[in-house]
Structure 1
Amino acid sequence: MDEQDCGDFLVSSRELDAFELMIRTARSKVEVAEILHVHDLSEDGFARHFPYLAKDVRDLPDDDSPCT
Structure 2
Amino acid sequence: MIMILKKALELTKSIEDYRLDMDELAKKKGFSNPDVITISQKLDQKMLAVQKILYTIYTPQTGTLDYQSHKHG
What TM-score results when the alignment is normalised by the length of structure 2? Answer: 0.28
Which structure has greater strand proportion?
A: 2
What TM-score results when the alignment is normalised by the length of structure 1? Answer: 0.29
Which structure has greater helix proportion?
A: 2
Bigger relative contact order, structure 1 or 2, given CA contacts below 8 A and separation 6+?
Answer: 2
Q: Name the larger-Rg structure.
A: 2
